[in-house]
Amino acid sequence: MKRIAIIGSGHLGQQIAYHIHQDSSDRVVAFFDEFQPLNTIINQIPVIGGNNDVITKYQQGAFDAILIAIGYKHLNAKKELFQKLDGKVPFHTFIHSSCYIDSSAVIGPGSVIYPRCAIDQHVRIEENVLVNISCTIAHDSVIGKHSFLSPSVAIAGFVNVQEQCIIGINSTIIDNITVTAQTQTGGGAVIIKDIDTAGLYVGNPVRFVR
């Protein structure tokens, strides 16, 4: 059994803790949260400090590995925290047992793969990525660091989604596409050509909004 701590005790952190408890022998033993009083209990899990306490608490033996549960609205904070802790605290990687993960796929540390995802041959999911429920990522595609895939995203082969992207619910990306860093797509977006300029894209096919 591994003892996991989660940074962020909001809905995302609580959801990740639920999946870990329901699907593995590991236990979430602590939250870290800047916005909750010390020793607050959330779903029977205590808040034991803020972000600046993580390294000290790890050195004191309070937990074995960490996950960052910061949502898609704060990907810069998610990235900064990962970089601050990388090499100082081990990152957990959680993959729900209902997923299909090809043996050639690589899932980076700190990443979370929700139920019923399919990860095909030679896919690389980099560090600190969240892949929400029922996503499909086809062969030879890459999901960049600190990105967030919403439920039911479909990504074809040879796609490169660069770091800190937010891919909206039910979005589709056809094959051989590159999506530049810090791109966001709205729900149901369909990407049929490379996105070279960061921003928000919506529609079928997508158009730049801002």
What are the phi and psi torsion angles at 14 (to 5°)?
Answer: -65, -35
Q: Tell me, what's the pLDDT at 19? A: 98
- 8-state DSSP, 158: T
Q: Is the pLDDT of residue 68 over 90?
A: yes
Numbered ranges of CATH 2.160.10.10 in the chain: 93-197
Segment 35-54 shows an average pLDDT of 96
Q: What is the mean pLDDT of the chain?
A: 97
Q: Tell me, what's the pLDDT at 73? A: 85
Cross-strand bridge partners of residue 67: 6
Q: Tell me, what's the pLDDT at 141? A: 98
Taking every pair of C-alpha atoms in the chain, what is the biggest distance, in angstroms?
A: 52
Please count the other Cβ atoms lying within 10 Å of the Cβ belonging to residue 48.
Answer: 20
What is the third-level CATH fold of 3-85? Rossmann fold (3.40.50)
Percent over 90 (pLDDT), the chain: 98
pLDDT tens-place string over residues 193-205? 999 999 999 999 9
Beta carbons within 8 Å of 41's beta carbon, 6+ residues apart: 47
Q: Is the pLDDT of residue 49 over 90?
A: yes
Round to whole Å and give the CA distance between 149 and 42: 26
pLDDT tens-place string over residues 108-137? 999 999 999 999 999 999 999 999 999 999
Segment 160-187 shows an average pLDDT of 98
Q: Is the pLDDT of residue 13 over 90?
A: yes
Contact predicate 131/117, CB 8 Å? yes
Round to whole Å and give the CA distance between 113 and 129: 8
Give the right CATH number for 93-197 from 3.40.50.620, 3.60.21.10, 3.40.50.10860, 2.160.10.10. Answer: 2.160.10.10
Query: What is the rounded radius of gyration, in angstroms, for the C-alpha atoms of the chain?
Result: 17
pLDDT tens-place string over residues 78-115? 999 999 999 999 999 999 999 999 999 999 999 999 99
Round to whole Å and give the CA distance between 183 and 120: 23
Q: Tell me, what's the pLDDT at 113? A: 98
Numbered ranges of CATH 3.40.50.20 in the chain: 3-85
Q: Is the pLDDT of residue 72 over 90?
A: no
